[in-house]
Structure 1
Amino acid sequence: MRVLVIGGGGREHAIAHACARHGHEVLCTPGNPGIAAHARIIDSPQDASTLARLAQQEGADLVIVGPEAYLAAGVVDECAALGIPAFGPTRAASRLEGDKAWSKAFMHRHGIPTAAHHAFSDLQTALDHAATLTPPIVVKDAGLKAGKGVTIAHTPEQAQDALRDIFTQPGAQAVTEDFMTGQEVTILALCSGTRYALTPPSQDHKTIHEGDTGPMTGGMGVICPFPLEPGVLDVIRRDIIEPTLRGMTAEGLPYTGVLYAGLMLTPTGPKVVEFNARFGDPEAETVLPLLTSDLAQHALDATRGQLDPTHVTFSEDASATIILAAPGYPAEPHKDIPITLPDPGPHGIIHHAGTRTQNGQLLSSGGRVLAITATAPTLNAALGRAYALADQTDFPGAQLRRDIGRRIGAHPDPT
């Protein structure tokens, strides 16, 4: 097939690589220097209608949409209007991620377990409510914030400050939630209506510093698979994935694409932290290297209502991703830092998340710059390989966490 991947980060690098290794011709816009190793990069305006016309002009058999902003802008809808299969939810269905207040109400309507919450469109009401809560308090911007619109406040005053920050934007909405305890885990589902196939569970590490401290980021490292207790995956299917897909269909929003379920394994069972309407980033960089079947074919089948979950297969290996972030991230990342990459070898891949080239030199151009992934028969060995690649990367001042996997007792095996 000729596959057009839309996006230019580490997630899209992983998608392009997954398609290319099954022999598909891959195009990508806007792309990045790492994606260029697997795809033809196309410079194009990034509005939804222009991207759909680009897919038509290039004779794309399939479009795979990476970032959430493109879904919310209606790229899938525009492609559908031109008769082009696009793997991703429609603008209306992507509201499951794009509007956290609506998403929470949807979960309540369909009995999907999640934290108790309140939604606000008025600052003073939100401030008054926050003053009555017992910390810690979770405060979320209801809109799209690339994984960074969440504050865990340890005093009512911190919660109120977070709310004031949210309401500096016109038309803002905010959500406050009860704080949940337990291990976080991500489940990704390839979906076509009520049919779905699950990827192995993974675990992201969201804060910038070790020990799960510091500001929230888009993700600093991932392990896969996460070791779920026996029977827990069946509960997640029964109580979360299936009711969500049935509910979306019942509300006239049949869901095609990737459903990202960010979950908390609480003492009373799995509960939804958030839904996203696309592959996670950096979860995609960790999970997709384990996919042994054909992502592009699964995506095309899903757009046709023909997804066969039994055809979606994964390696028995483990994988680990270590993020190298720019100095100053997440507040003000430094850009244009020269980078020299090592040879990743047969068990590694260096995903480009925020890079550009100038006169043949690779430079940093974003916050999370590289997602360094390695696979191995065990998680400890995968972590060892990923950290070795990270240490061989010449990226002055790069930030990385040295405790990825530590929550479950995993440690890098240096052998």
Structure 2
Amino acid sequence: MLKLINLLNLLIASLLLTVDANAADKMTHYPQQNDSSFDNTPQISWIKAGQLPVPDGFSESIGISGAYSGFLGNYLIVAGGANFPNGHPFFEQGEKEFYSDIFVFDTTNKFANLVAHGHLPIKAGHGATLVVDNSLYLVGGKNNQQAFDSIIKLTLDSDYKLTTELIDHLPFTWHSGGAAWQDGDLYIFAGEQNGKVNNRVCQYSLVSKSCINSENIPAVPGADRSDFPAINHKGQFYIFGGLSFLTDNAVLTDAYAFDFKKSHWTTLAPITLDKQPFSVTGGGVATINDDQLVLLGGVNRAIFNDAIFQLTTQKNEGLTAFKQYYFSLSEQEINFSRRQIIYNIDKDDWSALTNNVPFTGGAGPLTITQQGNKIYWISGEIKPVVRSPNIYQGTVL
């Protein structure tokens, strides 16, 4: 049973961009690819803006997934995350590694230029990052040994000095869900609490150090879920898809919006493309404008659902054969999403930009961070286990 749980965790953690050995000091402009079957406005112009540096104690940057990330002014912060530096877990019995490294990039000239390097007090990933005043709050997370209940405050001064401070503890360990800072309180949505995936909402007060207003906040509708793109936008918290192992199709395509003032959920149009359910699970989300959100990355629904079915039903030689097959699939065959899917808030419907992202799709979970009209696609997985160190920047036109 433990081996099966580890395999499922590996799948959940597996969500990337092609490995590129070119130096990060060259910015690559990508040609646009047309697809006339979808809406042609707006557009996002992508460049390669840099690469993640080598973590302390290692000789190569192979990319990470599940990182904490956010902006402080013009400085992009990337911290923690995980990868497999010592070989593939199936073919070479390599163990997953979590990191404490914090990388700070100056983004004022379009490049992601490293200006500082520090460390978190823990090695972790798969938590949430919130911008609160002039600091980042890094909430929850996990590593190979444990899940965390921590709230870590990260600040950066004018001399690029990083400071981290453990400022509070949640009343539960938590990771792989959604979080928001709203009206002075921290909101926690679904994910894994105390080792169990759930659909609860906690309005956590750093003053009373407890979940407050619980009787008035309904749970996230639908199945218990984890690993979903989510965003706090104009007083609404949007949740798109996710994973639930208690349903016939583990990859969810439902969507919901939570109104903070009314403490009310609205069921949104299911995620569809070409009138078919479409997966953004393990991907990320950013804003296009007040009325449009863009969903980036995510696992292929059919392939991932089949993998979960096979791993939970096959045994002995059949299970070994499937793992050999699955982990040998190429990036193209795994087919993490390259589509730029648009949720139209005012119309409550779905469309897609005319262009795919001009690089390999990603998941893992994928780290998407935004500043103004600049969207940053940071590392992530291009196929299960394999990551990319690349940082891409998309400009909303």
Structure having the higher helix fraction is: 1
Q: Which has the higher contact order (CA 8 A, sep 6+)?
A: 2
TM-score normalised by structure 1 residue count: 0.29
TM-score normalised by structure 2 residue count: 0.30
Structure having the higher strand fraction is: 2
